[in-house]
Amino acid sequence: MRNNHVNAVVVGAGAGGGVVAKELSTAGLSVVLFERGDWVSFEDHDNDELLSQRTTVLGNAFGPDDDRYRRVVVGGDGSTEIVYPSDGAYSNIAACVGSGTVSYGAMAWRFMAEDFRMKSTYGTVEGSTLEDWPVSYDDLEHCYEKAEWEIGVAGDSSLNPFAAPRKKHYPMPPFSYNREATMLESAMKRMGLHPFPIPMLRNSVPYSGRPACVRRRTCCGFACPINAKCGTHNTVIPAALSTGNCELRTRCVVGSLIIDASGRITGVEYFDRENTKQEQTADVIVVAASATETPRLLLNSTSKHFPSGVGNRYDWVGRNLQGHAYTGAFGLFEEDIFDDVGPGATLAISDFSHHNPGIVGGGILANEFTRLPYLFSNIRPPGSPLWGEEHKEFQRKYFRRNVQVVGPIQEMPFFDSRVQVDPAVRDSWGIPVVRLSGHRHPKDAEGTEFLSRKAEAILKEAGAFQTWRHLPGSGLSGGQHQAGTCRMGEDPQTSVTDRFGRVHDTPNVFVSDASLHVTNGGFNPALTIMALGYRVGEHIAGEWQKGNRFK
């Protein structure tokens, strides 16, 4: 059975793809939205720590599974290893309708103006492909606002003097602090810092017909049982489907783009839920499959016009893979701090996001999401035993008396950190898999050193009797904040897409996920991915309504 031709195909129903599908279908385009996973429900894995998105030891509650998916990771010594989605090195992004927005911690950060102008602000960084974005904060401001109101954010930016200017308030009031945050707030204020409630994609009051959050401990890494967390799965995707113009095809794996004899990209080839190969043609193709899967799809789409993959004429597809250099500190206290008010993270400072002496960029610092018992069993001061009597005693004594202050350091893009497709290894559909290689830029260690010392000082001021810092290694970054692999740019020789996410050399292929990020900000990236979704979606819909058919 042949599929009817549609106006647009969107590959990936996550933070970016969900938004684009909504923008296009409400503008009247017929859309097919592909998702390799399925709808997920809280009841599938409820409170199970060992399958949660933070500790995927027994598998990924939100997909993908270890049976059909794999990747190849190249080690520092050039050795290769096959890894599975439940391994950390896989750099997994959830495979379900809504993707990571189902189980994320839901921090709703806008990047700052400097985050779009890193090279202009800090100059060239030796060995890094640091660059300005081709769009500014002002270009994206209304997209952020749309994301905040259509998907739903609770916060109060008036308390953050470093926040980029905004035209409209958040739609919901901020969340109240838990005990830990209240304690940190006064310590931070004593230090002259500027703490404020973290903006969250989570209902602080009933919003969009869904209830207010009840503050469960199992939030970050889990689906919400009461639907108070705002993702694309319970906002824009249902809105897209309700237009009648959008068809969501779950459990369908897109393997490559279809390129006709003239070099025009006419659609996608995919495996349906019975693993039968099918084709879906469309005028416009939007790839929003994550910063690892999007380059894989482009690189797996070759023809005589695109011998090394779509958009890859100058070998930039898959380059500059970056995540966040997470760093911070732990502190132990004499009395109970833990009050079991979820999700844990409630307060942040943006004092160290930019203009730190000697540092390029920086990052926010926030108190951390609740660390459940298994995760906590791996948290020990340096030199402390990881098993035995003392370990057990620590587990018992300090679960309620430890505080973590943590933040993401903006990484320096590095050309040789990259996504390729492996020449030999294939997934269960026979599609060549992602091959990850590279390492962090040495400059990142300066940022993490700086930020972790700030975190430690805050904990000391708050009264911790023992503190220790944690620093990321120098190995390949990616993880759930993966970005940068199809960067936007004005120059086709040093970027993959234009300022609207259109892949250079093609009139009708767009990217709409964190692959577009030129730099990844010192913030959790979800809201920026959504904002870019609005930008790409708005652009395509606007052009379409002007009669442009992207030929």
Footprint of another protein (CB under 8 A):
41-43, 46-50, 57-59, 66, 86, 206, 209-212, 214-217, 225-227, 339-342, 372-374, 376-378, 386-389, 391-393, 395-396, 399-400
Shortest approach of another protein to residue 106 CB, angstroms?
16
Shortest approach of another protein to residue 402 CB, angstroms?
11
Q: Which of 102, 42, 45, 98 is nearest to 229 (CA)?
A: 102
Shortest approach of another protein to residue 211 CB, angstroms?
5
For 538, phi then psi, to 5°, come to -60, -45
Shortest approach of another protein to residue 230 CB, angstroms?
13
Q: Give the Cα separation of 357 and 222 in Å (integer).
A: 38
Shortest approach of another protein to residue 396 CB, angstroms?
5
* Cβ nearer to another protein, comparing 178 with 524: 178
* Cβ nearer to another protein, comparing 51 with 164: 51
Shortest approach of another protein to residue 245 CB, angstroms?
20
Number of Cα atoms under 13 Å in the Cβ half of residue 203: 21
Angle value at C-alpha 501, between 515 and 496, nearest 5 degrees? 65
* Cβ nearer to another protein, comparing 336 with 490: 336
Burial environment of residue 250 by CB neighbours within 10 A (0 to 12, 13 to 18, 19 or more): middle
Shortest approach of another protein to residue 43 CB, angstroms?
5
**Any residues with CB less than 8 A from the CB of 181 and at least 6 apart, and which?**
195, 346, 347, 367
- For the chain, state the CA radius of gyration: 22
Scan for tokens 């966040």, then name that residue: 324
Shortest approach of another protein to residue 87 CB, angstroms?
11
* Cβ nearer to another protein, comparing 56 with 417: 56
Shortest approach of another protein to residue 73 CB, angstroms?
16
Q: Is-contact 412 522, C-beta < 8 A?
A: no
* Cβ nearer to another protein, comparing 51 with 516: 51
- Amino acid at position 165, single letter: P
Angle value at C-alpha 521, between 520 and 523, nearest 5 degrees? 110
Shortest approach of another protein to residue 50 CB, angstroms?
4
* Cβ nearer to another protein, comparing 41 with 120: 41
Q: Which of 482, 411, 412, 518 is nearest to 133 (CA)?
A: 518
* Cβ nearer to another protein, comparing 342 with 472: 342
Q: Which of 37, 80, 33 is nearest to 60 (CA)?
A: 37
* Cβ nearer to another protein, comparing 374 with 465: 374
* Cβ nearer to another protein, comparing 209 with 357: 209
Shortest approach of another protein to residue 49 CB, angstroms?
6
* Cβ nearer to another protein, comparing 393 with 490: 393
Classify 159 as helix, strand or coil.
helix
* Cβ nearer to another protein, comparing 121 with 208: 208
The pair of three-digit structure tokens given for residue 294, joined into one six-digit string: 């999007």
Shortest approach of another protein to residue 374 CB, angstroms?
4
The pair of three-digit structure tokens given for residue 106, joined into one six-digit string: 């839901």
Q: Which of 137, 127, 161, 519 is nearest to 321 (CA)?
A: 519
Q: Give the Cα separation of 284 and 520 in Å (integer).
A: 27
Q: Is-contact 93 480, C-beta < 8 A?
A: yes
* Cβ nearer to another protein, comparing 44 with 543: 44
Beta-carbon count within 10 A of 141 CB: 18
Alpha helix (H) ranges present in 383-436? 389-398
Q: Give the Cα separation of 198 and 174 in Å (integer).
A: 8
Alpha carbon dihedral 331, 337, 338, 342, in 10-degree steps, equals -90
The shares of helix, strand and coil residues in the chain, as percent rounded to the nearest 5, are: 25, 20, 55
